[in-house]
């Protein structure tokens, strides 16, 4: 269970600030589905708007990285942070953007390898090579 109320569509309709963000989510994503994250953020319309605007700016624009690559980076961070919801939602998003089984498998392999070497480096307290500091 959430620690905050998850706003239904009816709740959202009664608050213009929330309704307007929900509408933009639907228009941007071309889908009627609003996932629970936004329904929780609706308790603070200003935070909802800032978070959605930030997400649109980073994830839903043309840029130097392929949108699928951005989703995979998101999954990587969410895994290391242990955010179960985030792993589920962004794995779904990556699949919707065409992530193949082979790409997913390689993503997992890199995440696992980084987890291993991060721990080895930290336990050994390896000093940064001067060659890396440019």
Our CB check for its own copies shows the closer of 27 and 124 to be 124
Rounded (5°) CA angle 35-14-38: 20
Decide: is 124 part of the binding site for its own copies (CB under 8 A). yes
Which residues ranging from 47 to 106 are in contact with its own copies (CB under 8 A)?
47, 50-51, 54-55, 57-59, 63-65, 69-70, 72-89, 91-92, 100-106
Decide: is 17 part of the binding site for its own copies (CB under 8 A). no
**For tokens 């909802």, what's the residue?**
48
Distances (CA, A) of 7 to 34, 44, 118: 10, 11, 39
Please select the residue that binds its own copies; options are 6, 11, 15, 24, rule is CB under 8 A. Answer: 6
- Least distance from its own copies to the Cβ atom of residue 43, Å: 6
Decide: is 119 part of the binding site for its own copies (CB under 8 A). yes
CB-based contacts of 11: which residues, under 8 Å, 6+ apart? 5, 18, 42
């Amino acid at each position: 269970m959430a620690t905050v109320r998850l706003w239904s569509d009816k709740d959202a309709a009664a608050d213009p600030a929330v309704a307007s963000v929900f509408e933009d989510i639907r228009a941007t994503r071309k889908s009627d589905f609003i996932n629970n994250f936004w329904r929780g953020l609706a308790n603070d319309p200003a935070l909802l708007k800032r978070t959605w605007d930030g997400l649109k700016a980073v994830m839903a624009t043309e840029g130097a990285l392929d949108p699928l690559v951005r989703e995979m980076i998101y999954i990587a961070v969410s895994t290391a942070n242990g955010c179960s919801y985030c792993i589920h939602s962004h794995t779904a998003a990556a699949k919707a953007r065409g992530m193949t089984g082979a790409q997913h498998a390689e993503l997992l392999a890199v995440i696992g390898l980084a987890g291993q070497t991060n721990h080895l480096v930290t336990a050994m307290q390896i000093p940064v090579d001067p060659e890396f500091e440019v």
